[in-house]
Amino acid sequence: MKKYDVVIIGGGAGGLTVASGASSLGAKVALIEKERHLGGDCLHVGCVPSKAFIQASKDIYTARSKGKELGLDVSGSVDLGKVNERVQQSIIAIQKHDSDERFTSLGVDLYKGAGTFTSANTVRVDDQEIYGKRIVIATGSRPLIPPIEGLNDAGFWTNENLFKQKELPENLLVVGGGAIGLELSQALSRLGSKVTIVEKGKKLLSTEDESIQKAAVYILEKELTIHLNSEVKKVQITSNGRKRVTIHKGNEHYTEEYDQILLAVGRKPNSERLNLNAAGVFQDERGFIPTNEKLQTNVPHIFAIGDINGKFAFTHVAGEEGKVVVQNAILGVPKKMSYNHIPWNIYIQPEIFHVGMTEQQARKFGIKFSVYEVPLTDVDRFISDQEADGLIKIITDQNGKIIGAHAIGNGSGDWMQAVVFAMKKGRKIGDLSQMIYPYPNHAAAIKRTADLYWRSKLFSGTIPKLTKKYISWFR
């Protein structure tokens, strides 16, 4: 039996971070991956293909809408097969960074197959059993398939098969109005499908700040048909191959026909094949594996990172958790994972950016706060780009320290990073005003918002009265 300093189950973002970090420090590492290629869902069916898909839809939408404004006549239908060819090209290009050769060259032993615990320190892969002084579970998640009558017989799409499709449905039903559902709904609508979203909740984007949520819904409703408080109960195949869907809304129910169904109702952890009982590892009723601040499970030498621990289902979080595990499991240096300044983006157009508290959260926790908000119609670059839909909002405590920042605007996931840095370093909103922003750029939205802080401090109250007297004397 081969023995390792660390055995990693799962070759996605988190697992690869641990593998590269641990091997670079001199640890003997085994990496187990059940799929043919490393990279996990993010690379093959998640972040990378979805963003390539969204960009293709944006290109089409821009050509049609902006072209018409400029006197161009853009016509024709989209070839979904061509779109997905471009998506696959993006995957192939990035796959080189996560190749088997890269990790074997680092000294990592790769095992292709499903890893299953046989004890708290041993894992079986096919007919091989290996020993790990430390073990990291990074098996990720997959689309949740709801128990809807007739759904399996009727067939459906998820993010796992969407990016291999060649026929664009004329009428598409999207079940689920979360981030994935909204991103793909808008993209497919812009490619040419008539898209209807059925969402069980009372509103969309419930975790976002109210100002952002309202602005986003206003924009999305221009392109999508959205049914809230609604649930799909039954699917039947019609004689012409379409899908007849029964939808319940309160005490009412109705039927509609669609060419295809896309599921986006959440994620399910990949934990059932791990045989966690053999290792004594606890999992909750949903199958997620709880961890402490050091990312240890209830068995101290076994760690869980990424989607599998049920905290934040983001690739960048899995990578950060991987770094924490390297310190704890490989170096033995106590390190706690902090989620205080985790940003995220929702890649609809315009993008939504989120970090820290929302205004409703600050109010709920009884925090005394101030809000500084600017519409993008006040920012010259967005006006010149003809992309001024959106706003930026920064929330501070009474001392000006940033406790939350939110935006909806073209590229906000990029130009809002300065705020993340300021929060991480404990800087105040006024510091963002002191930076010099090249004119005209998108990040000037941050400056305009931060300037509101100084206006409230310098140009109200007693200071203007004192400066008026001083100026009069100075003359």
Residues of each annotated binding site for FAD: 51, 115, 139-141, 307
Q: Name the residue with tokens 């994972």.
A: 337
Strands 29-33 and 2-9: parallel
CA dihedral angle for residue 59, residue 64, residue 69, residue 71, rounded to 10 degrees: 110
159 burial level (CB within 10 Å; 0-12, 13-18, 19+): buried
- Binding site, residues? 51, 115, 139-141, 176-183, 199, 266, 307
Strands ordered across the beta sheet of 260-263: 225-227, 194-198, 171-175, 260-263
Stretch (H or E) spanning 135 = strand 128-137
How remote is the C-alpha of 40 from its chain's centroid?
15
Cα(107)–Cα(59) distance, integer angstroms: 42
Cα(5)–Cα(331) distance, integer angstroms: 11
Residue 141 sits at the vertex; the CA angle it makes with 136 and 143, to the nearest 5 degrees, is: 175
- Angle between helix 179-191 and helix 47-69 axes, rounded to 10 deg: 40
State the amino acid at position 251 in one-letter form. Answer: N
- Binding site for NAD(+), residues? 176-183, 199, 266
Q: How many CB atoms lie within 10 A of CB 345?
A: 21
392-427 burial, b for 16+ CB within 10 Å, e for fewer? Answer: bbbbbbeebebbbbbbbbbbbbebbebbbebbeeeb
Cα(280)–Cα(294) distance, integer angstroms: 18
C-beta of residue 167 within 8 angstroms of C-beta of residue 80: yes
C-beta of residue 135 within 8 angstroms of C-beta of residue 50: no
C-beta of residue 352 within 8 angstroms of C-beta of residue 369: no
Residues whose CB is less than 8 angstroms from the CB of residue 394 and which lie 6 or more positions away in sequence, other chains included = 371, 372, 373, 402, 404, 405, 406, 419, 429, 446, 449, 450
